[in-house]
Structure 1
Amino acid sequence: MLSRNLSELERQANIARNKALLEELELADAVNNVGFSKKPPPPPPRAKAKTKSVRPAKREKRDIVEDPGPRRQSARLKRSADDPNENPEKKRARLQGEEEQRRKAEDERLQAEEREREARKPRHQDLELETLLGIENIEDKDEQKDLWRLKDTMVNVWPRPRPSGTYDSFTYEDTGEEEREVAELREKLTKLKIVARAKVTMNRVYCAQYHPEKSKDLIFFGDKRGQLGIWDPRTPADEVEDDGGADLEVQESGKYWRLQVHWPATSRSSISCIRFDPTNSHSIYTSSYDCTIRCLSMGSGISKEIFSSGDVLINSIDFDPAGHVIWISDAAGGITHFDIRMDQSKAIWYGLSGEKVGSVSVNPTRPHLLLTASNSRALRVWDTRKLSGLSGGSKPSSSGILEYDNATVEDFCESTDGSTLLRAEWTHKKSVSSAYWDPRGRSIVSTSYDDTIRLWDMNSSLLDSNSKFASSRPFKQISHDCQTGKWLTILKAQWTQNPDVYPHFTIGNMNHSLNIFSAKGDLLAKLSDSSKITAVQAVTCSHPSNVERVASGNASGRCVLWAPPEDFEPQDKDAPEDENTS
């Protein structure tokens, strides 16, 4: 406090000296103009008292009122105000015209809403290629070119039947001969490299199938929103003008078409399975979460609905070797037997499990043996010949088909007549995501959420007997990370359908690679390329006729073809094209 008083005294002294100096220089007016004033002395110090913090009063938030702009005014009142002497007849005509315009606008609005509602509904009618491609006006030359190119591609593909195997193929008494066969296969598969890439579908790939035509590479992919992508990686891609910013390393290969086979284009229409007719590969069957199965004819270019399960999600389908009967697995824990030559009302549903049946597989050499995998953690082999003995407990469903619930099936299995309906069962530690027979109808491969791949090798005498299997324990168990989570498609081991090579299967790896195993569980190849692949190749398939072709797809719809690089080297344009052979 003392120092503060001294500073104030020094300040006052300085002011007095400056004032006296100005007066000596005869600048009295300047002194007055400057207006020096004495600062009042500071108030005496107050006694320090304890104070209580006071929260400042809360400021009320003022509502910002925006200027709404000019208010809407009735056109009738405006005209009346502008023209109070309007002719009554003209006024009546004007009002009628305004009323007609309002009715017309309201009708157009209602029609637009109805069209939008219809667009969201599933399509059950026959659909042509123009509709599947989303081409409403085919006067555009580019769209015409694209449509006819797809039709030509379909027509020029031979309707090959599915290759069939035999049970005794690739069975050796000499282990050395089998080892040589496996070594030769490993040498071919390890040479496969990425030769083509393309974003074939708009969304996550759910399933894939390779067409059996030997002279072409034609691969079908089903995605999360009901889109069927057809990829021909050997067809020259459309030329894209280089704007200086294109990355040539990610340039798409070949030509692809996207067909909206199932509708609406939402996750409710995910394509869960793709199958070719075993006797005519011109017919492609797709099952979907929209509870329907459709058949696309490559010859006619027409997509038809052949089956509807009402409100039960369809997870998987498979054909008998003759191509007449489809077995359908669903989320309600059942399978459906459907003869495509008959009306849908003749189908029969069997409740084989209390939980979802994720996959169904028909034995190609013994079609009466059916393999199922379900969320109940059980892998089961059924003798479908015994299903004809079921009686009681049946009822027609909402779609009109006959149904046998799970309790009825279980009671029948415990009876004398139905004791061999369930031939074998193996319980995994967690849900079984898939299980399939190999082309010989001898080996089984399963994948499970317990992070294992299991293999079985069935004895012919065991398969041909009419009794339960003495043992259903797998002979091989492979550790494999199957924890795909919510955003990746479930990993499923897929047998190659080529009966002319040693049995092997492909499966995606969480490390962004693709693994190929033999029927004995030996790792034949691990295909990867970190410079070109940065996502999990969750869906895989292989060529049914060419062992050196493997395809895969990821969660973004981008697909990859693995093949020997020399098979895809640029060819001379003047060289004659090879003709298709039957």
Structure 2
Amino acid sequence: MSKTAYELEREANIARNRALLQQLDLKEAAVSLGAPSKSTSNAKTKAKPIQPAKKRKREDVEEVVPRRQSSRLKKSVPDVNESPEKKRKREQEEEERRLKEEEERAAAEERAKEARRPRHNDLDLVKLAPDSDSNELSQLTSTLHAICKEDHPKRVGGRDAFVYDDGDEKEEGEITSLKERLQGMKVVARAKVTQDRVYSAAYHPEVTKDIICFGDKHGQLGIWDARALPDEVSDEDEEVSPSGDAEGGKYWRLQMHWPATSKSSISCVKFDPINSHNASPDLLISFHSLTFLYQVFTSAYDCTIRSFSLTSGISRQVFSSDDILISSIDLPPAGHEMWIADALGGVTHLDLREHEPKGRWYGLSDQKIGCVSVNPVDPHLLLTASNNRSLKLWDVRKLQTLGGGAVSTLLTPPPSSPSGGKDKEHESSEYDNGQIEDFLKSKKGQGCLRGEWPHNKSVSSAYWDVRGRSIVSTSYDDTLRLWDVDPATLSRQSVIRTFKPFNKIRHNCQTGKWLTILRAQWTPNPDVYPHFTIGNMDHSLDIFSSKGDLLARLSDKQRITAVQAVTCSHPNVVERAASGNGSGRCVLWAPSDDS
């Protein structure tokens, strides 16, 4: 059958349009008109996001609460010929039924409220990881026991380590050598370690493995063995994912804080700086009558701090507050004390050697304190970073004389009364910001506030380096500030006259609502020239020296397409760093030959 003139003209128009689109390199439009697509096998494409090994979807268990119903509609229609006795019996049955329904509804509502409250009891691995099977928990236990075979106490650097005169060639050599080592780090493993946004991280000191703990927005602690050989996991179509898209290592997710909502975000993760089995027997017995070897502490927005034993797999509550949101914690190298910063502008001091630690609360600011840092060499020197735009250096030996209490040091036993009980005043003392201000103005309080530096906007973090002499702060004014405090100045008990940063670095810290706040984290390794890591809004991991030199800017545009907001580095291996983003995906950075 011959084609009509209209059909012939239509085909000619299609051919002309197809040729024109191909000339303009509009391939998709040409294909829609029927043009064959060219092979793109040689085209360079971006790597796909890593595919989670576990496809379980977390389902929130909702308590079914009986709905209210109209009492008028539920009433039965009375019989016009109903006798008074039957009427009384019917009304009595209706009243009993109503009361029973009210009791059931009240009980269901109470169970629903209880399910949303923080958990204060001890939790084992089965409760912490209800979605994991026995094989997964067995693998986790074996991994944790493997890293607990040797002692890993926190190491502290010397204050005079890596201190040189201006222009010293030895210092330039140290920086050059460190720069070459750090710039050789690449992405060697990726995994979706947590289900939600990463809020905090800590690197375990074991040198034979890369064990990193990540805390997320919904109270989940992800434990990642980044260089472990992953199990072969098939996708839903029973096809093994390509190696470039697959996850690296093995990870386990523990619901450390409850409920699993943003009310339980893990604000800080810290490994115990000592191994409890090296301490005296009295200290082992005093802490909840349980030997906790190799603990990891987590603080969360559910107003609790918990410790998780890597050997026993038991999580226990260390501290709880009724309604004060905990933003940061830190421990001195001896590990017997803890300092806690909160959203009310206070810090709490805990003596962990007590059977039931009770804190002394000091209102050091009129606004939220987002970060607290203990000097590793002189634990009585405390840094606080606050939303009131100030960084402050405190001498807590003076602070702890408030109320006539004795000065607490790392060497003194827990405070006790003559009768053998605990000092009630000590365990429950609170001093608000007004009392602190009055104390600082008094003769007794002179030298308590050793130094202060105002920022242009809120100070999001401030940390001591491993030597206890350098400080780095981050602020919403898009500036990193560096201090180098003379040890002779720190050894005095007077106010530091020239407490000002020696260097300022411009750095975009505008994370907004959906990203975790950027915090500069010092390397905990005392054997190497001091340096710190911080995420970059350009999706890179930046590493700076203690002088402010940019040592490395690690990135991989083909595999990293999100801001690496949370960072940490290995305490004992120089070329190791880890980072996490807003979706729970984490990255291990190391030399490419270690992959």
Alignment TM-score, normalising by the size of structure 2:
0.75
Where do residues 18-57 of structure 1 align in structure 2 (5 Å cutoff)?
none
Deviations 1:469-489 (A, max 9, x none): 120110000000000011100
Aligned partner (choices 269, 276, 291) of residue 274 of structure 1: 269
2:542 and 2:550 in contact (8 A); partners too? yes
Separation in structure 2 between the aligned mates of residue 289 and residue 177 of structure 1, nearest angstrom: 46
Deviations 1:354-396 (A, max 9, x none): 0111100000001111011101111111011101332399xx9
Query: What SS does the aligned partner of 2:403 have?
Result: coil
Stretch moving more, 339-348 or 328-337:
339-348
Query: What SS does the aligned partner of 2:268 have?
Result: strand
Deviations 1:289-316 (A, max 9, x none): 1111000001111000010122000110
Aligned partner (choices 306, 314, 318) of residue 302 of structure 1: 314
Q: 1:241 maps to what in 2?
A: 234
The code of the aligned residue for 2:322 comes to G
The answer on 1:162 being equivalent to 2:162 is no
Separation in structure 2 between the aligned mates of residue 398 and residue 486 of structure 1, nearest angstrom: 41
Separation in structure 1 between the aligned mates of residue 571 and residue 154 of structure 2, nearest angstrom: 8
| Cα deviation, residue 110, structure 1 | 6.4
Where do residues 208-219 of structure 1 align in structure 2 (5 Å cutoff)?
208-219=201-212
1:345 and 1:399 in contact (8 A); partners too? no
| Cα deviation, residue 238, structure 1 | 1.9
2:469 and 2:486 in contact (8 A); partners too? yes
Query: What SS does the aligned partner of 2:588 have?
Result: strand
The code of the aligned residue for 2:184 comes to K
Aligned partner (choices 114, 121, 139) of residue 117 of structure 2: 121
Q: Which runs of 5+ in 2 are unaligned?
A: 1-72, 78-92, 276-292, 406-422
The code of the aligned residue for 2:135 comes to K
Separation in structure 2 between the aligned mates of residue 557 and residue 398 of structure 1, nearest angstrom: 43
Aligned partner (choices 217, 220, 229) of residue 227 of structure 1: 220
Aligned partner (choices 329, 337, 351) of residue 341 of structure 2: 329
1:279 and 1:322 in contact (8 A); partners too? yes
Q: 1:518 maps to what in 2?
A: 545
Separation in structure 1 between the aligned mates of residue 318 and residue 170 of structure 2, nearest angstrom: 47
The answer on 1:564 being equivalent to 2:591 is yes
Where do residues 358-437 of structure 1 align in structure 2 (5 Å cutoff)?
358-391=370-403, 401-437=428-464
The answer on 1:146 being equivalent to 2:136 is yes
Aligned partner (choices 248, 253, 278) of residue 248 of structure 2: 253
Deviations 1:502-527 (A, max 9, x none): 00000000001110000000000000
Deviations 1:36-80 (A, max 9, x none): xxxxxxxxxxxxxxxxxxxxxxxxxxxxxxxxxxxxx99x99xxx
Question: Number of residues paired by the alignment?
Answer: 481
Query: What SS does the aligned partner of 1:201 have?
Result: coil
The code of the aligned residue for 1:403 comes to E
Q: 1:3 maps to what in 2?
A: none
The code of the aligned residue for 1:492 comes to R
Query: What SS does the aligned partner of 2:400 have?
Result: helix
The code of the aligned residue for 2:581 comes to N
Aligned partner (choices 179, 182, 190) of residue 175 of structure 2: 182
The structure with the largest alpha-carbon Rg is 1
Query: What SS does the aligned partner of 2:498 have?
Result: coil
The code of the aligned residue for 1:204 comes to R
| Cα deviation, residue 398, structure 1 | 14
The answer on 1:198 being equivalent to 2:191 is yes
Stretch moving more, 206-215 or 113-122:
113-122
| Cα deviation, residue 246, structure 1 | 3.9
The code of the aligned residue for 1:213 comes to E
Query: What SS does the aligned partner of 1:184 have?
Result: helix
Where do residues 538-549 of structure 1 align in structure 2 (5 Å cutoff)?
538-549=565-576
Deviations 1:449-507 (A, max 9, x none): 00000000010110111111120110000000000011100000000000011000000
2:318 and 2:357 in contact (8 A); partners too? no
Deviations 1:217-259 (A, max 9, x none): 0000000010000000122212122635845422111110000
Query: What SS does the aligned partner of 2:397 have?
Result: helix
Separation in structure 1 between the aligned mates of residue 586 and residue 295 of structure 2, nearest angstrom: 23
| Cα deviation, residue 323, structure 1 | 0.4
Deviations 1:544-579 (A, max 9, x none): 0111111000000000010111112xxxxxxxxxxx
Q: 1:504 maps to what in 2?
A: 531
Separation in structure 2 between the aligned mates of residue 98 and residue 565 of structure 1, nearest angstrom: 76
Query: What SS does the aligned partner of 1:249 have?
Result: coil
Where do residues 315-354 of structure 1 align in structure 2 (5 Å cutoff)?
315-344=327-356, 346-354=358-366
2:578 and 2:588 in contact (8 A); partners too? yes
Distance 1:177-1:415 versus aligned 2 partners, 3 A rule: same
Separation in structure 1 between the aligned mates of residue 572 and residue 324 of structure 2, nearest angstrom: 35
Distance 1:404-1:538 versus aligned 2 partners, 3 A rule: same
Q: 1:17 maps to what in 2?
A: none
Q: 1:490 maps to what in 2?
A: 517
Stretch moving more, 409-418 or 203-212:
409-418
Distance 1:234-1:181 versus aligned 2 partners, 3 A rule: same
Q: Which runs of 5+ in 1 are unaligned?
A: 1-72, 78-96, 136-141, 569-582
Aligned partner (choices 508, 520, 542) of residue 481 of structure 1: 508
The code of the aligned residue for 1:197 comes to R
Query: What SS does the aligned partner of 2:142 have?
Result: helix
Distance 1:353-1:493 versus aligned 2 partners, 3 A rule: same
Separation in structure 2 between the aligned mates of residue 345 and residue 252 of structure 1, nearest angstrom: 41
Separation in structure 2 between the aligned mates of residue 275 and residue 492 of structure 1, nearest angstrom: 15
Separation in structure 2 between the aligned mates of residue 98 and residue 407 of structure 1, nearest angstrom: 60
Query: What SS does the aligned partner of 2:244 have?
Result: helix
1:548 and 1:563 in contact (8 A); partners too? yes
Alignment TM-score, normalising by the size of structure 1:
0.77
2:577 and 2:588 in contact (8 A); partners too? yes
Deviations 1:95-130 (A, max 9, x none): xx9999999999877665544332111100000011
What's the RMSD between the two structures over aligned residues? 3.2
| Cα deviation, residue 166, structure 1 | 1.2
Aligned partner (choices 285, 299, 302) of residue 287 of structure 1: 299
Distance 1:332-1:392 versus aligned 2 partners, 3 A rule: farther
Separation in structure 2 between the aligned mates of residue 562 and residue 352 of structure 1, nearest angstrom: 38
| Cα deviation, residue 206, structure 1 | 0.4
Distance 1:398-1:245 versus aligned 2 partners, 3 A rule: farther
1:344 and 1:401 in contact (8 A); partners too? no
Separation in structure 2 between the aligned mates of residue 113 and residue 154 of structure 1, nearest angstrom: 39
Q: 1:130 maps to what in 2?
A: 126
Separation in structure 1 between the aligned mates of residue 341 and residue 321 of structure 2, nearest angstrom: 11
Q: 1:37 maps to what in 2?
A: none
Separation in structure 1 between the aligned mates of residue 481 and residue 455 of structure 2, nearest angstrom: 10
The code of the aligned residue for 1:123 comes to R
Separation in structure 1 between the aligned mates of residue 356 and residue 497 of structure 2, nearest angstrom: 38
The code of the aligned residue for 1:474 comes to P
2:233 and 2:240 in contact (8 A); partners too? no
Separation in structure 2 between the aligned mates of residue 363 and residue 514 of structure 1, nearest angstrom: 26
1:397 and 1:403 in contact (8 A); partners too? no
| Cα deviation, residue 143, structure 1 | 0.8
Separation in structure 2 between the aligned mates of residue 204 and residue 107 of structure 1, nearest angstrom: 40
